[in-house]
Amino acid sequence: MIALLRGRVMRRTEDMLVLECGGVGYEVHLPAFLRDLLRADPRRLDDTVELHISYHVTANQPRPLLVGFLREVEQEFFERFITVDGVGPTKAMKALAHPIERVADAVERKDIAFLQKLPGIGSRTAEKIVAALHGKMGKYALLRTEPPAEIAQAPADFQEEVIEVLTRQLGYRAGEARRMVGEALRRNAALASAETLLQEVYRVERGPAGSSGTEPAAAVRAGDPHAGRPAKSGSSA
pLDDT tens sequence across 131-158: 999 999 999 999 987 544 443 444 448 8
Domain-located, residue 14: yes
pLDDT at 235: 45
Domain-located, residue 235: no
pLDDT at 217: 43
Do 160 and 210 share a structural domain? yes
Contacts of the segment 150-157: beta carbons below 8 A, 24+ positions apart: 150/174
Do 25 and 80 share a structural domain? no
Domain-located, residue 225: no
State which amino acid sits at residue 173.
R
> For helices 123-133 and 72-81, what crossing angle results, to 10°?
110
> For helices 72-81 and 100-108, what crossing angle results, to 10°?
40
Helix (H) or strand (E) holding 165: none
pLDDT at 59: 77
Domain-located, residue 237: no
pLDDT at 14: 80
When divided into structural domains, the chain yields a total of: 3
Domain end: 44, 69, 94, which one?
Answer: 69
Domain end: 116, 139, 162, which one?
Answer: 139
State which amino acid sits at residue 67.
V
pTM: 0.66
Residue 140 CA from chain centroid, whole number: 4
Looking at 10-99, list the stretches that DSSP marks H as alpha helix, in order from N- to C-terminal side: 32-40, 72-81, 89-95
Range of the domain at 53: 4-69
E-assigned strand segments in the chain: 4-12, 16-21, 24-29, 48-56, 65-69
CATH number at residue 26: 2.40.50.140
3-state DSSP assignment of residue 37: helix
Four-CA torsion 129, 130, 131, 137, nearest 10 degrees: 100
**Are the beta carbons of 186 and 210 closer than 8 angstroms?**
no
pLDDT at 227: 44
CATH number at residue 88: 1.10.150.20
Do 182 and 157 share a structural domain? yes
Do 205 and 185 share a structural domain? yes
Domain-located, residue 112: yes
Residues in the chain predicted with pLDDT less than 70, given as ranges, are 46, 146-156, 208-237
Domain-located, residue 236: no
Do 166 and 134 share a structural domain? no
Domain-located, residue 174: yes
DSSP type of residue 66: E
Domain-located, residue 230: no
User: 87-113 burial, b for 16+ CB within 10 Å, e for fewer?
Assistant: bebebbbebbbbbbbbbbbbbbbebbe
